[in-house]
């Protein structure tokens, strides 16, 4: 009975040993093998043979591109403005042994390195430059960290700035400043409009006064000319002049009589004498 059991046990041991010595690595991965606790080799995708019980797979590393999300952080610009920025990095592990033995946690290390470099780069820029120069920040960021992570066997494919915006308090301050600037411009515009309207009104009054003065001058000249012509026409002939003045006088009295405010109209007893008096006064 013991013989078959021993044989079966040996067969099982051989089978387990063979299974431990054969490793199938999937595409897109590399496995790091340690021999007696020390790095021995890296297994490529496909069928691989290792020494059972002596060699062991210590790490399984992907060779596909890894997307690392860089958390948002507050950054102070050169002009002391607080902005919030985050990024995303695309990396590829080309030397798995360096990645696992060169740094404790390469993903955490790269995130920290990107955040630190981003703070340093943005800290040398003013707010307007930081908001409008994403490509420039990206280029500087990639250059600053590529050499550092190369020592860990990792290649930085690219790094992109996702968001870079002023902080909440800064946005409120900028909105208030913009509103104040719009209010100032509106006030200036209204003041300029009122000024232009006042100038136009004054110019209108000045022009009207000038025209009135010119009209009065023309009227005075016309009256003077008329009086001259009348004087030349009547010369010393008193009767025609008395007739004309009397006619005007009677006409004036008729108009006064038509007025609603006129209660009593006094007519002179001797109209010719009254006209003669007017003529004497006008001489």
Concatenate the DSSP letters of all residues of 22-81 into one string: EEEEPTTEEEEEEETTEEEEEEPSEEEE--TTTEEEEEEEE-S-EEEEEEEEEEE-TTS-
Please give the average per-residue pLDDT across 195-207, as a whole number.
84
Q: Are residue 37 and residue 74 in the same domain, yes or no?
A: no
Residue 30 lies in a domain: yes
Check: CB of residue 99 under 8 Å from CB of residue 61. Answer: yes
Q: Are residue 13 and residue 108 in the same domain, yes or no?
A: no
Please give the average per-residue pLDDT across 139-150, as a whole number.
90
Q: Are residue 38 and residue 82 in the same domain, yes or no?
A: no
Q: Are residue 85 and residue 163 in the same domain, yes or no?
A: yes
Q: Is the pLDDT of residue 113 over 90?
A: yes
pLDDT above 90 coverage of the chain, percent: 29
pLDDT at residue 200, as a whole number: 84
Q: Determine the Cα angle at 125 with ends 122 and 126, to 5°.
A: 120
Question: Where does residue 42 rank: exposed (0-12), middle (13-18), buried (19+ CB within 10 A)?
Answer: middle
Q: Is the pLDDT of residue 96 over 90?
A: yes
Residue 159 lies in a domain: yes
Query: Given 62, 81, 105, which residue is the final one in a domain?
Result: 62
Residue 160 lies in a domain: yes
Q: Are residue 14 and residue 74 in the same domain, yes or no?
A: no
Rounded CA-CA distance 49/61 in Å is 18
Phi and psi of 58, rounded to 5°? -90, -35
pLDDT at residue 211, as a whole number: 83
Q: Are residue 47 and residue 91 in the same domain, yes or no?
A: no
Query: Which domain covers residue 255, as residue numbers?
Result: 235-283
Q: What is the mean pLDDT of the chain?
A: 80
* pLDDT tens per residue, range 214-270: 888 887 777 667 667 666 666 655 555 555 556 566 666 676 666 665 555 555 545
Residue 79 lies in a domain: yes
Residue 94 lies in a domain: yes
**Stronger pLDDT, 32 or 186, i.e. the higher one:** 32
**Stronger pLDDT, 186 or 95, i.e. the higher one:** 95
Q: Are residue 76 and residue 102 in the same domain, yes or no?
A: yes
Q: Is the pLDDT of residue 54 over 80?
A: yes
Rounded CA-CA distance 128/130 in Å is 5
Total tally of structural domains belonging to the chain: 3
Least confident range of 74-78, 176-180, 191-195, 262-266? 262-266
Residue 119 lies in a domain: yes
252 Cα distance to chain centroid: 77
Q: Are residue 10 and residue 81 in the same domain, yes or no?
A: no
**Stronger pLDDT, 236 or 29, i.e. the higher one:** 29
List the CATH number of the domain containing 147. 3.30.479.30
Of 58, 26, 24, nearest in space to 41 by CA: 58
Tokens of 175: 């909105």
């Amino acid at each position: 009975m013991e013989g078959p059991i021993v044989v079966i046990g040996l067969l099982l041991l051989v089978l387990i040993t063979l299974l431990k010595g054969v490793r199938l690595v999937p595409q897109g991965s590399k496995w790091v093998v340690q021999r007696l606790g020390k790095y021995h080799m890296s297994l490529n995708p496909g069928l691989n043979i290792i020494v059972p019980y002596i060699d062991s797979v210590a790490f399984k590393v992907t060779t596909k591109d890894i997307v690392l999300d860089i958390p948002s952080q507050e950054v102070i610009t050169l002009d002391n403005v607080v902005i919030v920025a985050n990024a995303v990095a695309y990396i590829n592990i080309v030397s798995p042994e360096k990645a696992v033995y060169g740094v404790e946690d390469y993903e955490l290390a790269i995130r920290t390195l990107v955040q630190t470099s981003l703070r340093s780069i943005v800290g040398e820029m003013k707010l307007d430059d930081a908001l409008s120069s994403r490509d420039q920040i990206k280029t500087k960021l990639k250059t600053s960290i590529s050499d550092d992570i190369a020592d860990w066997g990792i290649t930085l494919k690219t790094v992109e700035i996702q968001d870079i915006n002023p902080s909440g308090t800064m946005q409120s301050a900028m909105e208030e400043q913009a509103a104040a600037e719009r209010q100032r411009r509106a006030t200036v515009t209204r003041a300029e409009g009122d000024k232009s309207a006042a100038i136009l009104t004054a110019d209108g009054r000045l022009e009207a006064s000038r025209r009135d003065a010119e009209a009065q001058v023309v009227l005075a000249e016309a009256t003077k000319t008329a009086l001259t012509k009348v004087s030349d026409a009547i010369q010393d002939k008193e009767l025609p002049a008395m007739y004309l003045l009397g006619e005007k006088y009677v006409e004036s009295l008729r108009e006064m009589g038509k007025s609603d405010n006129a209660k009593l109209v006094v007519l002179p007893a001797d109209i010719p004498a009254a006209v003669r008096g007017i003529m004497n006064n006008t001489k």
